């Protein structure tokens, strides 16, 4: 096998325009299927000596599910990922009202956010990598946000089994920007047992405290002696049942910048049976660990099996959620005519 790019174009009544599906493959058998709808990852697969490819991420069986995407599979979340309390904030003394889509709050940029739009796309070839680049212009007032925002997301797959996601954005007005990817991972060959048997390590001493609506309050909680302590590798099943509804929390990263890169390793996910591992490094300040609590079995995966609770998990690298409303949180405000840039790398090992 070698580095390959292929593109498929199709029209479907469920989508507002032409759908582009781009497949990136490296010589080690890693395959990433991307879509211009939501600048999203539709699947990550491993082609090895086994007869059938192994899914490393969750996918829908029905293309109509990708259009509605109730679980946000694989999408680029934004303009602001995660939750904004009350779907509002103040900017330069003015009240900004956003479009709510989760009760009174806004989740992942609103119901018609970046995740549910068609992006422009192109393919790119590098010396040791293949890539797809997606761009979109979010107009002033989109889902309530000020400023026209131009966004670019590139997915690059290289020969080191790294999937590198680079985000860039620029606005003509000061506006919040906080982007992430929302792929659900499951590294096991047999998906029936979900991710509870996976081992997870997170470089984090603190999580953000949440209110009853999952909105950060501004307080940091130490993970020591709690179910949230993943500083050493730990089976997800070990403590998850002590929580009301699984994990859906933001873990603040312990920064340990190297001398050559501003990327920090924040997460290691391992399937003990196969030995497959995914390491995540990022420029961001932390990640949201979501254990697939609301997968309710009402939709089918690409093998016709119900997508049930804990079937997959998300590790979403981004800035602090609800930072627009908490003054002492690191800001997610992007000043007018300045560049937002984020890089997150997924490295697949023992494949």
Active-site pick, 20, 182, 198, 346: 182
Alpha-carbon distance of 208 to 284, in angstroms, equals: 15
Whether residue 108 lies in the annotated active site = no
Closest CA to 20 of 131, 137, 120: 120
Which residue's entry shows tokens 């490295």? 347
Q: Are 91 and 171 in contact (CB under 8 A)?
A: no
* Catalytic residue (choose from 31, 154, 284, 316): 316
Tell me whether residue 132 is exposed, middle or buried, using C-beta atoms within 10 angstroms of its C-beta: 0 to 12, 13 to 18, 19 or more: buried
d(CA 84, CA 91): 14
- Whether 182 sits among the annotated catalytic residues: the reply is yes
Q: By the 8 A CB rule, do 84 and 322 touch?
A: yes
Partner residues linked to 216 by β-bridges: 210
Q: Which structure tokens are listed for 334?
A: 């992007």
Token representation of residue 349? 């090992």
Strand 30-35 and strand 120-125: pairing?
unpaired
Active site residues: 182, 316
């Amino acid at each position: 096998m070698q580095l390959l790019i292929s593109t498929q174009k199709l029209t479907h009544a469920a989508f507002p325009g032409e759908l582009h599906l781009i497949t990136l493959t490296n010589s080690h058998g890693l395959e990433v299927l991307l879509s211009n709808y939501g600048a999203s990852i539709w699947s990550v697969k491993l082609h090895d000596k086994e007869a059938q490819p192994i899914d490393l991420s969750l996918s829908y069986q029905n293309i109509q599910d990708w259009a509605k995407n109730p679980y946000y599979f694989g999408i680029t979340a934004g303009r602001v990922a995660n939750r904004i309390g009350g779907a509002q904030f103040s900017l330069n003394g003015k009240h900004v009202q956003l479009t709510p889509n989760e009760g009174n709050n806004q989740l992942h940029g609103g119901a018609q956010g970046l995740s549910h739009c068609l992006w422009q796309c192109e393919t790119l070839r590098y010396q040791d990598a293949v890539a797809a680049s997606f761009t979109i212009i979010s107009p002033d007032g989109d889902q309530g946000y000020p400023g026209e925002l131009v966004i670019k997301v590139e997915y690059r797959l290289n020969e080191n089994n790294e999937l590198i996601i680079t985000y860039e954005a620029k606005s003509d007005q000061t506006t919040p920007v906080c982007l992430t990817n929302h792929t659900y991972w499951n590294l096991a060959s047999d998906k029936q047992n979900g991710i509870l048997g996976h081992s997870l390590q997170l470089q984090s001493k603190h999580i953000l405290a949440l209110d009853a609506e999952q909105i950060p309050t501004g307080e940091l909680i130490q993970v020591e002696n709690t179910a949230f302590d993943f500083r050493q590798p730990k089976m997800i099943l070990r403590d998850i049942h002590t929580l009301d509804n699984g994990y859906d929390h933001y873990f603040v990263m312990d920064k340990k910048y190297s001398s050559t890169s501003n990327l920090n390793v924040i997460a290691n996910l391992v399937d003990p049976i196969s030995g497959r591992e995914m390491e995540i490094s990022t420029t961001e300040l932390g990640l949201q660990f979501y254990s697939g609590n609301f997968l309710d079995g009402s939709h089918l995966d690409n093998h016709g099996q119900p997508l049930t609770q804990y079937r997959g998990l998300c590790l979403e690298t981004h800035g602090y959620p609800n930072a627009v409303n908490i003054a002492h949180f690191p800001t997610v405000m992007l000043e007018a005519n300045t560049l937002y840039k984020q890089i997150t790398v997924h490295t697949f090992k023992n494949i």
